[in-house]
Amino acid sequence: MSSTRLGHTLNRITNATMASTSSSSKRRHPPRHDFSSNNNNNNNRQSQPRPPKRRPGAPQHHLNLDISWLAHQPPIEGLDPSIVVQPRRLHFTLGVMTLNSSPNDRGHDHDLASATTLLDNLVPSIRTMLANNPLRVPLDCSRLKVMQPDPTRAHVLYLEPDSRSSDGLRLRAVCDLVYNAFNQAGLLNDGNRPLKLHCTLLNTRHRRPQQPGQRRSAGRIPFSFSAFPQGTVDNLNLGTWTVDELQICEMGSWTPDGAYVRVAGCDLRPGPAT
């Protein structure tokens, strides 16, 4: 008896839930999930998910802001609305997991239930670490960076939180706790990589053709981060966001309001555990 595997991403999100990708081909591919924190979790729980896109393999993290870069004159090379991530997909990624839908799935030892149990078991330690303080994401002195070494040929633009404040130190400590626990349990796909807290804002992987019927380019078209106006990449004040919940999210799926679909989570709000 076969069952569909689930692929998960360990995420901390302030305005998004999970997304999943699955395959209908003869060989089933694992959908991906986010482990996230969300400040709109009540709406996400009530929303009915839209079926995910059939793109097995690659995790997808999207983040969108109202930005003026697209209207800049002269135009910034490589920028296009299609590469800007959607607002309700805002999240900080902690890691990626590939999980079975049941413990009996062949060829894989980990399932969603075991990941959920581990998350539940971490709640007392997280609450002790928070000491009845809310978990916040400080973006009041954040900066933008690109993943690529050449800023004139960038493909991913991301936002980095300020880790120097008390909120930032607390955020990092909680994320490290969760990341290390899931890594030690063998649940993370890329556990050999150090945790890099980031929110993706632009991703050229999502670029769409500009004209109807036009084919996608064979290669990804970069954008020039060097052409961004001065004063729009450093010391950005985007406020401080309170995290209500840490979530495991299906990657690639959509709720009606555009968020990721939540499959599990733990309440991080101050007060008695619920």
Assess whether pLDDT exceeds 80 at residue 231.
Answer: no
Assess whether pLDDT exceeds 80 at residue 105.
Answer: no
Among the residue ranges 135-149, 199-213, 240-254, the one predicted with the least confidence is 199-213
Q: What is the mean pLDDT of residues 263-274?
A: 82
Q: What is the mean pLDDT of residues 239-254?
A: 87
Among the residue ranges 14-18, 87-91, 197-201, the one predicted with the least confidence is 14-18
Assess whether pLDDT exceeds 50 at residue 236.
Answer: yes
Assess whether pLDDT exceeds 70 at residue 6.
Answer: no
- Per the structure block, which two tokens stand in for 141? 């002195």
* Entry pTM: 0.73
Distance CA 14, CA 10 (A): 14
Q: What is the mean pLDDT of residues 22-29?
A: 34
Band (238; pLDDT cuts 50, 70, 90): confident
Question: pLDDT above 90 covers what percent of the chain?
Answer: 34
Closest CA to 157 of 198, 194, 217: 198
- Per the structure block, which two tokens stand in for 249? 């999210």
Band (154; pLDDT cuts 50, 70, 90): very high
Instruction: Give me the pLDDT at residue 175, please.
Output: 94
Assess whether pLDDT exceeds 50 at residue 60.
Answer: no
Q: What is the mean pLDDT of residues 16-45?
A: 41
Distance CA 265, CA 270 (A): 15
Distance CA 230, CA 39 (A): 31
Instruction: Give me the pLDDT at residue 102, please.
Output: 65
Backbone angles phi, psi at 128, to 5 degrees: -65, -40
